[in-house]
Chains A and B, each alone.
Chain A
Amino acid sequence: MASIFRVQVYLTDKASRRLPLLLCFLAAMVMLMPCSSRAETSYRSVAGPCHLEFPRDHGPHPGYATEWWYYTGNVKSGSGSPFGFQLTFFRHQFVPPGDETGWPKLPSAWRTPQIYIAHLALSDIMEGTYRHVEQMARGAVGLADATSDLEKTSVFVKDWSLEIRHEDSIHHLTAVAEDFGMNLILSQEKPPVLHGQNGYSLKGKAADSASCYYSLTRMSVHGDLVVRGQSIPVQGSAWMDHEFSTAPLESDLLGWDWFSLQFSDRTELMIYLLRQKDGGMSPASSGTFVDASGTTTALVFQDIAVEALDHWQSPHSGGSYPVRWAIKIIPLKMELTIAAQLKDQEMNTPGTTRITYWEGSVSVKGNGKDGKPVTGEGYVELTGYDKPLNLP
């Protein structure tokens, strides 16, 4: 979900660094727009129903400032070694629609309004290691792009790619970095889950502080991971998010905690918690429960109770992240304990885009819907814990 707020971090400049993390997005957006008033009106905004249709809406949505295709999953090798993986493609439009009119009559092929970023991470739970790397390219001259037609949707950044075959909803992820990578086939097992009101997912008080947001909450995975040049055949389960928006995060927010959990009874739970600067939770925090048949239950702020049980301080960024939680979903009588499979799963890219957040594989046990005992796995994303960026 909340990756919408990530793209901004690397865009920060000296002025915006003085602002809390979440303001950075706003600052960055303003900065990106040569004339903010015009720019604000020229980007498309999400202020009402998203009318999502598939497979059409797997494809890119230019005109919105930010968009991502986001895959996380937990897999096991033939010998039973567990791995967590993340592959995310971000699209960021840094020139508002309409500004192209100011371009030279015969523009260069390099002139583009889009930048693409991709994040790849692999958590080797047995070995206790977390590898991560990113790629970035302008959306031009074949370096990066996102396209969609009747047959397929494809997104790529350099040689990392995502291909969604519409006919049978097979997602093909390929990303190989210097010493690790993956080549995975994901099969959709449940229909798309539209969050909020049919995909219109409110992220603040204003009507346009929102995104269009859907998930594929359960996908079976098979394929190969590559670790130090060795191919490891794996199988498991994955989760996909696709979200697009133009809205900046509201100014009183500090960061967010996002959970995607898959339970042994084939149900799933997604919750996001928007943390306010005053320490409380924003009322816009919410979630979705998906039962085994794919039927969804929307959860609101009051339905969710979360307590952080343990913390871990990052030696890289200095941020102190919760790594164990107790979560209650009151109306569904769910009581869960969630624990990070590895403490250090911090995506930290100081040399390049400077995006810092915690994104990691977690295990879960406790009582599922209606108090029945369940186990499960999932992914958690934590932002705004990175101390230097939080300094006023």
Chain B
Amino acid sequence: MKKAVFLVRLWIWFSLRQLRSQYWRTLTVLLGIALGAAVFTSVRLAVNASVDSFANSMDTLAGKADWTVVTPGARVPEGLVAALQKHPAVETASPLLSTYVRPAGNGGEPFLLIGLDPISDRDMRQWSSTGTSERGSSWLTLMRTPYTLLPGEKLSERWHKAPGDSITLEHAHRTVDFQVTDILEPEGLALAEGGGIALTDIATFQEFTGLHGWVDRIDLRLKASAQNDAARSIAAMLPEGTVLEKPSEARESGKLMVRSYRLNLSVLSFVSLFVGMFLIFSLVSLHVTSRRHEMAVLRSLGASSRLLFFLFLLEGAFFGVVGWVAAIPLSSFLVRRLVEQVSATVSHLFVRVQVDQLPLDPLEAASSFALTLFVSLLAAIQPAIEARKVHPREVFLRHASRENGSPAPYCLALLGALLILTVWPLVRLPAIHGVPLSGYLATFLLFCGFSLLSPWCLHLLGSHLPPLLQHVGGQPAYLGGRYIRDSGARMALSVGALITAVGLFVALVIMIHSFRGTVELWVEQSISGDLFLRPKMSEINRYRDPLPPQTVQLLQDLQESVEIVPYRRIFLTYEKVPYQFEALDLSRLRHHASLLFLQGHPENIFRELEARDGILISEVFANQTGLGVGDHFTAQIEGTKLDLPVLAIFRDYRTQGGTVHYPLERFTKKSGDTSWSGARLFLKHPGEDLEAAALALKNEILTRSGDQAQALEVTTGRDLRRIILRIFDETFSITSVLLLIALLAATLGITTTLATFILERSRQLHTLLAVGASRTQVRTMIIWEAVLMVITGEGIGLCCGFFLSYLLIFVINRQSFGWTFIYSVDWTALWISLPLILGTALFAALPASQLVFQRPASQVLRE
């Protein structure tokens, strides 16, 4: 304890005062690490908020249920409620229906309408209304009066509706005036979906949605005395296709989908922290170098080498702790901006979330603190070990000198090459529980490996370039080149920050470009169609409401002029992997569109599909389930058992999991389900202006649908494709933000690195002045050094980025999301941005070059 107190005291005397006197440098590094910590923390918090809000919604919806009865891909007959209720082990059987509906009129935001039996539900879920402290009259009113509802506080505020007011709601099939009975207290069930829910009686729900006779699920609470085999005996009484599930299953499968996204963002945000680590390293090692003599004095006065080690480790810890504290306001600023974007992305890609609060998770805060501290200590450990090596006899050396102990550049380069080579076997390892750990490790090794290549590259540049440089930039350029040659291993880690940031930048530019290119191609070929038609809110209601029969009839009447490609889409899970089963009229579709098959010619595949019974699966589904061509796929859909071979794998970028395609006519025959989830329309005679023709068709359908029109969502193909690409771009905007911050931190790194080198050599630089160099010449030399450094960093970063882009596309994306893309490089973006980064980095070098002449030459030289 006494020792620790003394250590801190000595650290304050020795290190903190130094940091304080050079506050610009200290602040820069602190800013860098704070940015890193803030990005990391706020991204984690934002993603967690989304995941938590989803999990909470699922939990409050599940209530106190022990089991849930569902029919995958379909609904449960309501008659089961009474049968289950009479089972001796069942305490309560409570039916539940839910769907997204929205207030009529433009801009009405969809919300979750929940239909339940207020009486059976009282044992299952907690909710009450504000007007009555007991559930009292409001639930009775729900039961007594058709089309009454209890909105959550948030909804009533959004709608400006008080009890007694009426609101018009539209669902896929109907539009009805509802009366607000009362407002829900913000507790329990009312907090699901971030408070954006409304309750109604199950009778009203069925009458509104036309789901007479059906419920989405039946939640069961068992008696405390229920035997262990109760679940089995309950399951035995269920009709075929209806199953007993743990209520947590839906939540877990949702969380599973978000997990990869969460991890990817975490890793991406960690890069900023990683870049911050370079900054700490660079400053601490500057101190170790420039204060070597002082350390020798300490040693001569009786300080142990361990003491020096801890002194510098403490410096790292200081940056970690203070950086993290400084990150708090930054995080709270960032997280507010991120949370909306993240939750939008999570909603687009995986599960619908409504974030209404940002819980401050102490565990998350503690872990971000621990990580920041760890990274900072890690950054300080190498310089601290260097400090440990200071020998007391160095006290007799008049000036600080660097021991020539660092390994030769080619040794580092060999090590770097070795690390890069390790990536090769590493990426062939499978993901662990869906987490591409080896992919992330490979990424880390790439960054380290390429950073280690830099001294050798600098040495090469410095050895061969100076004559040329002299020609271009005169003596200063020549000297700058020479200095770069001899700068040694430390440069590797300092340039490392830049390599990491540029590498990441290049890789993401390539990945996003490839991704977008592939998605565009996919949209063009697979999402073809002149008009798309489906019930309103199909997407958020997971296509559970088919097209009304009148609409189907109307479409069939149009067949003269329009080719109709109907489909039936059902959301299911295969061994806990969520996917969409889509039965569609492939034989008609292939005349107009194609699928992007991973292997094989489309013509042959379609021919095979006509000849034999089988399915086509998406790349995502294949990667998530391990199914390949020739394997057998089994599923229970709407009570129909399917056991079919996989005929081919196609690329698919629709969100919310993998896809299975099956010919519609075969599905209809097997299941007897003739309903359509939606249809694509192709104009047989589009004429010259396709868009105008499509719009005309849209208007015709809407006009002829009459009352049904308001239940339909009719989108022209061009609009739909534009929407898909817009969602795509929104999804990646967060990536761009993270990337910019990493680049910013790297730029700060360049400033500190250069400052380090300049201060280290101030004697040498002043000697140059003394022997006749002009200040401009010295500054020019420094700029040249910066140019060489930044070019090397960018060059190596570029190489690193190409490697990394492969890794991202073919390993990490495949293991995380199950898809890969057609590789293509966005040269234009690179050509524009790389010089821009160079310019920015050089701009960042300017303040450093001003440092040289801060102190009078005579003073520097006399020391």
Answer yes or no: A and B touching, Cβ < 8 Å: yes
Are A109 and B146 in contact (CB-based, < 8 A)?
A: no
Q: A95–B651 Cα gap in the complex (Å)?
A: 57
Assess whether A51 is interfacial by the CB under 8 Å rule. Answer: no
Are B146 and A102 in contact (CB-based, < 8 A)?
A: yes
Assess whether A179 is interfacial by the CB under 8 Å rule. Answer: yes
Given contacts A11-B140, A354-B134, contact A111 B146 (CB under 8 A): yes
Are A95 and B144 in contact (CB-based, < 8 A)?
A: yes
Q: Which residues of B contact A229 (CB under 8 A)?
A: 225
Q: Which residues of B contact A215 (CB under 8 A)?
A: none
Chain B 100-144 interface residues, beta-carbon cutoff 8 Å to A: 117, 119-120, 122, 131-134, 136-137, 140, 143-144
Partner of A108, one of B119, B136, B212: B212
Q: Which residues of A contact B79 (CB under 8 A)?
A: 141-142
Are B225 and A94 in contact (CB-based, < 8 A)?
A: no
Count of residues in A whose CB is under 8 Å from the partner chain: 34
Assess whether B213 is interfacial by the CB under 8 Å rule. Answer: yes
Q: A278–B606 Cα gap in the complex (Å)?
A: 90
Are B137 and A115 in contact (CB-based, < 8 A)?
A: no
Assess whether B223 is interfacial by the CB under 8 Å rule. Answer: yes
Given contacts A32-B140, A34-B144, A107-B203, contact A142 B82 (CB under 8 A): yes
Partner of B225, one of A34, A115, A178: A178
Are A159 and B85 in contact (CB-based, < 8 A)?
A: yes
Partner of A178, one of B91, B143, B201: B91
Given contacts A110-B201, A138-B143, A159-B86, contact A31 B137 (CB under 8 A): yes
Q: A63–B306 Cα gap in the complex (Å)?
A: 93
Q: A31–B144 Cα gap in the complex (Å)?
A: 11
Are A178 and B223 in contact (CB-based, < 8 A)?
A: yes
Q: A354–B139 Cα gap in the complex (Å)?
A: 15
Partner of B146, one of A31, A32, A103: A103
| Chain B 64-105 per-residue mask, 1 if CB under 8 angstroms from chain A, else 0 | 000000000000001101110110100100000000000000
Q: A136–B135 Cα gap in the complex (Å)?
A: 15
| Chain A 270-296 per-residue mask, 1 if CB under 8 angstroms from chain B, else 0 | 000000000000000000000000000
Assess whether B207 is interfacial by the CB under 8 Å rule. Answer: yes
Q: Which residues of A contact B119 (CB under 8 A)?
A: 115, 136-138
Given contacts A12-B136, A179-B225, contact A104 B120 (CB under 8 A): no
Q: A229–B120 Cα gap in the complex (Å)?
A: 25
Q: How far is the CB of A222 from chain B (nearest CB, A)?
A: 23
Q: A178–B131 Cα gap in the complex (Å)?
A: 34
Q: A152–B351 Cα gap in the complex (Å)?
A: 53
Q: Which residues of B contact A142 (CB under 8 A)?
A: 79, 81-83
Given contacts A34-B145, A102-B146, A143-B81, contact A94 B140 (CB under 8 A): yes
Are A110 and B117 in contact (CB-based, < 8 A)?
A: yes
Q: Which residues of A contact B117 (CB under 8 A)?
A: 110, 138
Q: Which residues of A contact B133 (CB under 8 A)?
A: 14
Assess whether B30 is interfacial by the CB under 8 Å rule. Answer: no
Which residue of chain A is the closest to B140 with respect to CB atoms? A94
Q: How far is the CB of A360 from chain B (nearest CB, A)?
A: 26
Assess whether A106 is interfacial by the CB under 8 Å rule. Answer: yes
Which residue of chain B is the closest to A176 with respect to CB atoms? B88
Q: Which residues of A contact B213 (CB under 8 A)?
A: 109
Q: Which residues of B contact A189 (CB under 8 A)?
A: none
Are B132 and A108 in contact (CB-based, < 8 A)?
A: no
Assess whether B202 is interfacial by the CB under 8 Å rule. Answer: yes
Q: Which residues of A contact B78 (CB under 8 A)?
A: 109-110, 141
Which residue of chain A is the closest to B202 with respect to CB atoms? A110
Q: How far is the CB of A335 from chain B (nearest CB, A)?
A: 44
Q: A354–B213 Cα gap in the complex (Å)?
A: 32
| Chain A 88-110 per-residue mask, 1 if CB under 8 angstroms from chain B, else 0 | 00000011000000111011111
Q: Which residues of B contact A102 (CB under 8 A)?
A: 146
Q: A115–B142 Cα gap in the complex (Å)?
A: 13
Partner of B207, one of A31, A104, A141: A104
Which residue of chain B is the closest to A159 with respect to CB atoms? B86
Assess whether B206 is interfacial by the CB under 8 Å rule. Answer: yes
Q: A107–B83 Cα gap in the complex (Å)?
A: 22
Q: How far is the CB of A198 from chain B (nearest CB, A)?
A: 34
Q: A81–B223 Cα gap in the complex (Å)?
A: 28
Given contacts A106-B212, A108-B212, contact A158 B225 (CB under 8 A): no
Are A111 and B120 in contact (CB-based, < 8 A)?
A: no
Are A12 and B134 in contact (CB-based, < 8 A)?
A: yes
Q: Which residues of B contact A41 (CB under 8 A)?
A: none
Partner of A143, one of B82, B131, B143, B205: B82
Are A13 and B145 in contact (CB-based, < 8 A)?
A: no
Are B144 and A104 in contact (CB-based, < 8 A)?
A: no
Q: A125–B189 Cα gap in the complex (Å)?
A: 42
Q: How far is the CB of B541 from chain A (nearest CB, A)?
A: 19
Q: A159–B137 Cα gap in the complex (Å)?
A: 26
Are A13 and B144 in contact (CB-based, < 8 A)?
A: no
Assess whether A79 is interfacial by the CB under 8 Å rule. Answer: no
Chain B 35-89 interface residues, beta-carbon cutoff 8 Å to A: 78-79, 81-83, 85-86, 88
Q: How far is the CB of A225 from chain B (nearest CB, A)?
A: 16
Assess whether B771 is interfacial by the CB under 8 Å rule. Answer: no
Assess whether B224 is interfacial by the CB under 8 Å rule. Answer: yes
Chain A 176-191 interface residues, beta-carbon cutoff 8 Å to B: 176, 178-179
Chain A 63-119 interface residues, beta-carbon cutoff 8 Å to B: 94-95, 102-104, 106-112, 115
Q: A4–B179 Cα gap in the complex (Å)?
A: 32
Q: Which residues of B contact A106 (CB under 8 A)?
A: 207, 212
Which residue of chain B is the closest to A105 with respect to CB atoms? B207
Which residue of chain A is the closest to B225 with respect to CB atoms? A178
Q: Which residues of A contact B146 (CB under 8 A)?
A: 102-104, 107, 111
Q: How far is the CB of A177 from chain B (nearest CB, A)?
A: 9
| Chain B 130-172 per-residue mask, 1 if CB under 8 angstroms from chain A, else 0 | 0111101100100111100000000000000000000000000
Q: Which residues of B contact A104 (CB under 8 A)?
A: 146, 207
Chain A 182-228 interface residues, beta-carbon cutoff 8 Å to B: none
Assess whether A352 is interfacial by the CB under 8 Å rule. Answer: yes
Q: A110–B215 Cα gap in the complex (Å)?
A: 11
Are A110 and B224 in contact (CB-based, < 8 A)?
A: no
Which residue of chain A is the closest to B176 with respect to CB atoms? A104
Are A13 and B137 in contact (CB-based, < 8 A)?
A: yes
Q: Which residues of A contact B137 (CB under 8 A)?
A: 11, 13, 31
Q: A72–B86 Cα gap in the complex (Å)?
A: 24
Are A111 and B136 in contact (CB-based, < 8 A)?
A: no
Q: A202–B135 Cα gap in the complex (Å)?
A: 33
Q: A131–B133 Cα gap in the complex (Å)?
A: 28
Are A137 and B86 in contact (CB-based, < 8 A)?
A: no
Q: A195–B145 Cα gap in the complex (Å)?
A: 37
Q: How far is the CB of A277 from chain B (nearest CB, A)?
A: 24
Q: A141–B213 Cα gap in the complex (Å)?
A: 9
Are B122 and A352 in contact (CB-based, < 8 A)?
A: yes
Q: A109–B205 Cα gap in the complex (Å)?
A: 11
Q: How far is the CB of A184 from chain B (nearest CB, A)?
A: 18
Quick one: which of B78, B131, B213 has the most chain A CB within 10 A?
B78
Are A108 and B91 in contact (CB-based, < 8 A)?
A: no
Q: How far is the CB of A63 from chain B (nearest CB, A)?
A: 16
Q: How far is the CB of B208 from chain A (nearest CB, A)?
A: 9
Q: How far is the CB of B259 from chain A (nearest CB, A)?
A: 38
Q: Which residues of B contact A137 (CB under 8 A)?
A: 85, 119-120
Partner of B203, one of A32, A108, A115, A136: A108
Quick one: which of A13, A34, A102 has the most chain B CB within 10 A?
A13
Given contacts A143-B81, A159-B86, contact A108 B144 (CB under 8 A): no
Q: How far is the CB of A105 from chain B (nearest CB, A)?
A: 9
Which residue of chain B is the closest to A117 with respect to CB atoms? B119
Given contact pairs A106-B207, A141-B78, A176-B88, enumerate 17 new A-B contacts (beta carbons under 8 Å). A11-B137, A12-B134, A14-B132, A14-B136, A31-B137, A94-B140, A95-B144, A104-B207, A108-B202, A110-B201, A110-B206, A111-B146, A137-B120, A141-B81, A143-B82, A159-B88, A178-B91
Which are the 5 A-B pairs with shortest beta-carbon distances?
A142-B82, A13-B136, A108-B206, A110-B203, A108-B203
Q: Can you offer 15 A-B residue contacts whose CB atoms are under 8 A?
A: A13-B137, A14-B132, A104-B146, A107-B146, A109-B206, A110-B203, A110-B206, A138-B119, A141-B78, A141-B79, A141-B82, A142-B83, A158-B82, A159-B85, A178-B224
